[in-house]
Chains A and B, each alone.
Chain A
């Protein structure tokens, strides 16, 4: 079976699987200069920077100030990559099977979600390789953050089982069709998805977890 060169898959999908490629180009609504989700934080930081009074004495406030400075230095979000095949979420199974059956990419190495709040999307990156060796192929799926749904490829590629559960647990991407669609690392009652960029970080502190299930005291 022929080995695909980088970028070749895109042209091939256009020809063989019409409608599979995702042509929508997510744009950054804030523009290039302010392309950061830390927009509010930056504002408060600049406010405090203008303040000439001595820094607060409490270590807590100092830590807060430190955190703000670090946030302020945060550069813009990385640009979205264009050279790989970006496919529509509902066609991911077709593309994966196409890669496996026509070109022998029979080893799914990784399913990685990346959160881009500035573009309003979550990008899920699939890395396919060949068991015989050689370089791999990258397939991307871009879904909106507030409605992140991708059909599960676990029924065809069982190797994606735990990876998709990690995606769901930490990033909130839903995979209809998954045989065991549950949280994997966090407990079932946990709310939110901690790896999203806008998830509130509580730092190095503990908080009390109250059981909401039946039979609990609270």
Chain B
């Protein structure tokens, strides 16, 4: 093979397919990627320090801004950590509400992510709008419960801000009824898509052994064949009550990640059906009555100590580490951002593939810059 001179090119920060302001320094040999160095920080606002300055209640609002596609799960993880720290019990009904909202967020995230991903490949518009139509329905539900579409600010310490009314339950049921039709259409639309097949199979392979040592999580590690899901590995909330499966891939390429996300949406649908069935029997209120008053929430002062909690966000393992000194602000508020850590493996996934594949591989990791740069 003819040896050519290596060249360094910048992709980004302003590039429509990088899902935000994000730069990739790619060293290429002809069209082949030799080395890839991500450059971060264009959206950095020192989120962790804001969590040290603001009170515990105020911090819920900025966890929404971490990964703005699934604000509900961010809030869930954060509230769990503070509850562990302060020893607040969550009533059964509140747990059900939280699980319902979390699983709706997962469907929302995957539907949008797969639509965006196919758009990255050059299949403009149609699939994205298919995903977005379903996303709109979920956002309407979020608007009904929380008052806001994306930055829901719905969870509180000890439960949720408001109860879900029979009206909203009906709205969720309506969505669930239409879901199997949507997922079948969506899958057929994508699986038979020539663009997708040509550009995703055997691209961006991450072997099983590498995936674990790179600490990647979420659909990326599951596509590599490791059934690692916090909902099963260390069940939190009431996830041990539901029957659902963890889909895993066999090859670990971009196509597998797509299949895993598709199946995960179906499993979320299963969990949602079970949760809605069991919801009327759930005891307790939507929030711990002892912490219902606004003054209790605002003036929360957990005893000195520390807590680390992990939840399964659609991007991967989302963890919160909070150290309290007994005051009304956290002494240290740290986040394990799945999008950031999954990017560690990007260089190894892209090496040896063409420049045009970078965007496809990046899209298959499914990053959100709000979480990467914090």
B15 within 8 A of A: no
| Chain A min CB distance to B218 (Å) | 13
B contact residues around A131 at 8 Å (CB): 212, 226, 228, 233
B215 touches A108 (CB 8 A): yes
Q: Restricting to B303-340, which residues have a CB under 8 Å from any CB of A?
A: 304-306, 308, 310, 317, 319, 321, 323-327, 331-332, 334, 336, 340
B40 touches A184 (CB 8 A): yes
A contact residues around B49 at 8 Å (CB): 194-195
B304 touches A78 (CB 8 A): yes
B contact residues around A162 at 8 Å (CB): 340-341, 343-344
B216 within 8 A of A: yes
A180 within 8 A of B: yes
B326 touches A75 (CB 8 A): yes
| Chain A min CB distance to B65 (Å) | 16
A97 to B326, CA, bound (A): 35
B contact residues around A108 at 8 Å (CB): 215
B344 touches A158 (CB 8 A): yes
A144 within 8 A of B: no
> CB-CB contacts of A69-82 with B at 8 A, as 1s and 0s?
00001111111010
B201 within 8 A of A: no
A180 touches B40 (CB 8 A): no
Chain B interface mostly = mixed
A15 to B269, CA, bound (A): 50
B48 touches A78 (CB 8 A): no
A112 within 8 A of B: yes
B contact residues around A133 at 8 Å (CB): 232-234
A10 to B41, CA, bound (A): 38
Chain A interface mostly = loop
What total of chain A residues lie within 8 Å of the partner, measured CB to CB?
A: 43
Partner of B308, one of A75, A76, A110, A159: A110
B contact residues around A138 at 8 Å (CB): 308
Q: Restricting to A64-117, which residues have a CB under 8 Å from any CB of B?
A: 73-79, 81, 106-110, 112, 114-115
A contact residues around B373 at 8 Å (CB): 185
| Chain B min CB distance to A82 (Å) | 12
B contact residues around A125 at 8 Å (CB): 321
B contact residues around A106 at 8 Å (CB): 212-213
A135 within 8 A of B: yes
A contact residues around B212 at 8 Å (CB): 106-107, 131
A75 touches B344 (CB 8 A): no
A125 to B324, CA, bound (A): 15
Which chain A residue shows the least CB distance to B39?
A184
Partner of A73, one of B226, B304, B327: B327
Given contacts A78-B331, A134-B233, A162-B344, contact A107 B321 (CB under 8 A): no
A77 to B326, CA, bound (A): 9
A138 to B336, CA, bound (A): 15
A183 to B44, CA, bound (A): 12
A75 touches B319 (CB 8 A): no
A79 touches B304 (CB 8 A): yes
- Interface residues of chain B, those whose CB is within 8 Å of chain A, are 37, 40-41, 44, 46, 48-49, 210, 212-216, 226, 228, 232-234, 304-306, 308, 310, 317, 319, 321, 323-327, 331-332, 334, 336, 340-341, 343-345, 373-374
Cβ contacts A to B, 13 pairs, < 8 Å? A74-B325, A77-B325, A110-B319, A129-B234, A131-B212, A131-B226, A133-B233, A134-B233, A158-B213, A170-B48, A184-B41, A185-B373, A186-B41
- Interface residues of chain A, those whose CB is within 8 Å of chain B, are 73-79, 81, 106-110, 112, 114-115, 125, 127, 129-136, 138, 157-163, 170, 180, 183-187, 194-195
